[in-house]
Structure 1
Amino acid sequence: MKLASLMISSTMLATSLLAGVHHAHWGYTGHEDPTHWGDLNPKYAECKLGGSQSPININKDIIVETKGLAPIDFHYTSGAAEVINNGHSVQVNIKPGSFIKVDGKEFELKQFHFHTPSENQIDGKNFPLEAHFVHQAKDGSLAVVAVMFENGKENEIINKIWKKMPHEAGKKVACGLSAEMINELLPKEKAYYRFDGSLTTPPCSEGVRWFVLKDYSEVSKDEVNEFLHTLHHPNNRPVQPVNARKVLQ
């Protein structure tokens, strides 16, 4: 993806995902659902024309074994600033200072948000909940770390976020989530699948580095239902054609 185009998409990320402001109405139901995104606004054309769209179904047919795939270097050292219901997800905005290092480059953690059911699949399986940790480098390029949550015991950190999450779209409140708590959302083992993809919401900009962690965290059914009740509907984009892409592990 050209740098100029990526910088534009990054600006849109800052004004939409971070601030909850959108250039055109889109959603997950009716005439604004994912099948129509590419027709809602010319800026969203990549949603239907792109060849490297996310999410995808990660399966053995597209996985390539790679020796020496470097671990993600996590440096989550700052806490949360606020939690916002942007009408499409519940999003936690992060104070400056946290980042990952991949490909010799630092990507600052801007925010993380949730989808139910999961957007990415593993061997055709959806998970009850998926978190996307969205990072941005100084050159505007984006990297997303995805964490899958499987049914299990109550997740104490999720519970803290849910207690703060606004139930009205467009509202945000201060969030005292510490860096330690944010790290606890990640599974202990951080091996991953890697592929090139896109944002999973309009404008569906491509050129995004995706890292889907192989190990899972846990969440209770009640916590998933509370999130679903807040949004009133599932908020996952269906899996997209893989085309010629491969997934590295």
Structure 2
Amino acid sequence: MQDPNADTEWNDILRAKGILAPKEKEVSEEDVIDILESTIQEKSRGKQLEDLTLDELNENEDEIDEEDERIFEAYRMQRLSEMQAASLRAKFGEVREITREDYVREVNKAGDGVWIVLHVYKQGIPLCTLINQHMTRLAQKFPESKFLKSISSVCIPNYPDKNLPTIFIYFEGELKKQFVGPHEFGGMNLTFSEFEWMISQTGAVKTDMEESPKRQIKDVMNIAIRESAINRDDSDDDDY
């Protein structure tokens, strides 16, 4: 006798005519996850599973049915892994002062996957001071990258002042990009957003900006110039 639960064209016809009862829907792993999330939401004041902290996951573990335990444990381990990965990435977060003796350890032996932004500067140069301020903010915003600074006379003997400020970008100890001299930075008008964009173009940080702030400023200026020209034309027309 043919299996009434089999997926055949004949059985589909019989189900459509009401001769066979509708086939029971198989419960997939996605369905189990949805049920699990719904259960946890009820017990966690409406929070989604992915929004729970590790402590909250642990608190709810005893309230999960046995058949859901495997999926729940997978979520818990995933969350723990994400937290550990984030902790490893966010191991910097400040600008460290180094000397020539520190260079090999801090730059050449920085480790796999580490981006380094090194500012060579001199005290008393306003643009160097400005960039150090931008470096501090950038280091806090992107703690997964290493930000370093070093006084030129300490780091590179006889390094000419005309080359300051200088930014060296390294990845895994290899020099990838350098910005040498004040002309590279546009002088004291350099904003934090412009500095962030500049560094992001080397790959050292992953900004959420979609285009250069300088372009945005230029667009605003162009609009203002066009509007000014239109206003002048209207004023000239009024004279006749």
TM-score by length of 1: 0.18
Q: Going by fraction, where is helix more abundant, 1 or 2?
A: 2
TM-score by length of 2: 0.19
Point out which structure has higher relative CO (alpha carbons under 8 A, 6+ apart): 1
- Structure possessing the higher radius of gyration over alpha carbons: 2
